[in-house]
Amino acid sequence: MSVAADVEARVAATGLLAGPTVVLLSGGRDSVCLLDLAVRLAGPVRALHVNYGLRAEADADEAHCVALCARLGVPLEVRRAGVPEGNVQAWARDVRYAAAHALEGAIATGHTATDQAETVLYRLIASPGRRALLGMEARSGRVVRPLLGVTRAETAAYCAERERPYVDDASNPTSTRGRIRAILELHPAAEANVADTLAQLRDEAEVLDALIDPDADLTTLSPALARLTVQRVAGVAPARYMEEILALARRGGTGHVDLPGARVTVEYGRVRAEPLEGEPSRAAVAPARLPVPGEVAFAGGVVTAELGAFDVADGTLAADALAASLDVRPWRAGDRMRPLGLDGTKSLQDLFTDRKVPRAARHQLPVVLSEGEIAWVPGVATGARFRVNAATKLRARLHWSPGS
């Protein structure tokens, strides 16, 4: 069996390329391979290319994508990104996924087994812990990654066999990614070994998460389960603080440890997380219930919800994805959401940092939840499940008017 036939069979077996699909097309080997596979396995298919204007070859890459899609008979959306803001990689990701979510269908990315291995190694270097090893998911909301079981060498071979030209953005060998790739080249089975390990870890993670009781007495738990409980309550607590927190539980009585942005208190073996002293207390801001449509007082201001045919903007959500009434409360340490435009989940603390929200303002912002899931934080993020696209007829517009 040829490499192309083998890759197609393996990707088809994932079931991730079926039905309407938007392929994120950069013009590189992986996305070109993905587009060709989508044409063969999914349908209808359209492609999205974002020209960030950051490389001298950007316009040539765009022209290549236009020609390739014309050859394959695939409609192509081309977006010009404009001027970068803040962290360039985060900005590019936001632009890319926001544009993709405005289109119909599953959003297919060209992440491969090679990308997965690089991501895991980088996360392990930058952020130790079990969650760093879980890697990218094959499906995350509308985003699918059909090539996670295919290596970069195989996508190149696929394109060669199928005569699908691609552009080559050679990475700097001295960059972080370049160095990680050099490590993976030390063993021919490195990428496959990482992929097999991730599959096992994901199965085990489901079992471990089911065992965690946030209200449990840490002193009655095994060391591993105690660590997992602290991480559930306090978010991803930095490893250097973990032993200090567990030592407080073993000592008995009440004590606390200050983490970035939160104070973790251990009281007779049980752990809770609160804002640091000097920041507004979330206990001082009462939660509220917001009917849709309707309004509610919160933190000296007003949160409103309207229904109608509104333009897409911050606070515009799909009404049919929302509950009839929403919970409005302050931020809690450990809060996580699946934000529109990003892969996977992210802590609100990290999102606040990314959006440069001052610490003193964080506990006055309303966190709006629909049946327990964070749907919207004004000026910060919208939940991916509540996205609005061209087919969304009934929309909800949420608005936050802070007090004086």
Lowest-confidence range among 127-131, 136-140, 302-306?
A: 127-131
What's the pTM value of the predicted model, to 2 decimals? Answer: 0.58
- Is 27 among the annotated ligand-binding positions? yes
Lowest-confidence range among 224-238, 284-298, 345-359, 372-386?
A: 224-238
Share of the chain above pLDDT 90, in %: 32
Average pLDDT, the chain: 83
Per-residue pLDDT at 391 exceeds 90: no
DSSP structure class, residue 62: H
Lowest-confidence range among 127-131, 297-301, 400-404?
A: 127-131
Beta strands in 15-69 (DSSP E): 21-24, 45-51
Model pLDDT for residues 340-371, shown as the tens digit of each residue = 877 778 888 888 888 878 776 787 899 999 98
- Is 129 among the annotated ligand-binding positions? no
User: CA-based angle 34:344:22, to the nearest 5?
Assistant: 30
Residue scoring higher pLDDT (221 or 263) = 221
Share of the chain above pLDDT 70, in %: 87
Half-sphere exposure of 19 (CA within 13 A, CB side): 8
| Cis status, amide bond into 214, omega within 30 of 0 | no
Model pLDDT for residues 3-44, shown as the tens digit of each residue = 999 999 999 999 999 889 999 999 999 999 999 999 999 989
For every residue of 166-209, DSSP letters joined together read ----PPPTTSHHHHHHHHHTTSTTHHHHHHHHHHHHHHHHHHHH
Model pLDDT for residues 253-277, shown as the tens digit of each residue = 888 887 766 778 888 888 887 766 5
Model pLDDT for residues 63-89, shown as the tens digit of each residue = 999 999 999 999 999 998 877 766 677
Distance of alpha carbon 197 from alpha carbon 120, whole angstroms = 11
Region 99-112: mean pLDDT is 88
Please report the pLDDT score of residue 130 as a whole number: 62
Per-residue pLDDT at 281 exceeds 60: no
pLDDT range class, residue 393, cuts 50, 70, 90:
confident
Model pLDDT for residues 304-341, shown as the tens digit of each residue = 999 988 888 889 999 989 988 899 998 887 788 999 87
Point out which residues pair with 88 in neighbouring strands.
Answer: none
Residue scoring higher pLDDT (185 or 108) = 108
Per-residue pLDDT at 279 exceeds 70: no
User: Residues 181, 183, 188, 189: is their CA dihedral positive or negative?
Assistant: negative
Per-residue pLDDT at 172 exceeds 70: no
Q: What is the dihedral of CA 15, 21, 27, 30, to 10 degrees?
A: -10
Region 210-238: mean pLDDT is 78
Distance of alpha carbon 23 from alpha carbon 360, whole angstroms = 41
Please report the pLDDT score of residue 403 as a whole number: 61
- Is 253 among the annotated ligand-binding positions? no
Per-residue pLDDT at 280 exceeds 60: no
- Is 26 among the annotated ligand-binding positions? yes
Per-residue pLDDT at 278 exceeds 60: no
3-state secondary structure of 60: helix
